[in-house]
Amino acid sequence: MKLAIISDMHGDYQLPPTHISAGVDAILIGGDSVEDWLDIAKLEMFLMELNKVCPNIYAIGGNHDILFDRHPTIPKSLPWNYLVEPQPFAKFQDYSIYGFPYSYYRTDSGDEKQFKYHNAYAVDGEYGMEEKLRRVKADIVLSHSPAWGLRDVARCTPLGSYKLRDYLAEYSPKLFVCGHIHEAAGMTWYSDTLVVNAARSWLKVEV
């Protein structure tokens, strides 16, 4: 299965170039799609055009998608398959897809209320990640946050989640898609899992 992947568009909507879109079976969007209300109409128009490229679009939210978190009917009304609790799973062809939009704050890092107010799908540290993470095997995991040590470095510091790393070690999905850390965009392997950080750039993979 060929996939086109992007994350962290932040209101800057660009269709994938031909060498990315040609022959793709599905499109994955890894969160941080909007910044404010003005982006909703632009995103809808973008998705309508993207559906002409490929109608099988699977997406999650990210920490900037506050409108989606506070008004959950909005993402559900758009022309994509939005994966969020209580239905974070989808099936496409023979592949299971699990959506995990959450990001965490550290309880010792400052004002937790401020972080929650300014960030969507925010949870309390690694404990919160563990609490939200479903211990179910999936072929494709679509996460906004990266796993620790895997395409997660910004300013020489790894910022990913240990709990997501533990999940990958236990279940070995075929593909783990993330974003959030723009500086770490690219691909790498972790055992049998292809790890793709698609922040701000279209990437194409085959699983």
Q: Residue 21's domain is classified under what CATH number?
A: 3.60.21.10
Q: Which of 134, 140, 113, 135 is nearest to 124 (CA)?
A: 113
Q: Under a CB-based contact definition with an 8 Å cutoff, are residues 145 and 178 in contact?
A: yes
Residue that wins the pLDDT comparison between 56 and 127: 56
Q: What is the pLDDT of residues 19-37, one digit of tens each?
A: 999 999 999 999 999 999 9
Q: What percent of the chain has pLDDT over 70?
A: 94
Q: Supply angle C-alpha 134, 62, 81, rounded to 5.
A: 70
Dihedral sign, Cα of residue 154, residue 156, residue 161, residue 166: positive
Residue 201 C-beta-side C-alpha neighbours within 13 Å? 13
Condensed to tens digits (0 to 9), the pLDDT of residues 109-161 reads 555 555 555 689 999 889 999 999 999 999 999 999 999 999 999 999 999 99
What's the total number of domains in the chain?
A: 1
Decide if pLDDT at 107 tops 60: no
pLDDT of residue 104: 84
Q: Mean pLDDT of all residues in the chain?
A: 94
Higher pLDDT, 133 or 108: 133
Q: 172 is in which domain, residue-wise?
A: 2-206
pLDDT (average), residues 72-89: 97
Six-digit token string for 104? 């965490």
Q: Would you place residue 179 in the very low, low, confident or very high pLDDT band (cuts 50, 70, 90)? A: very high
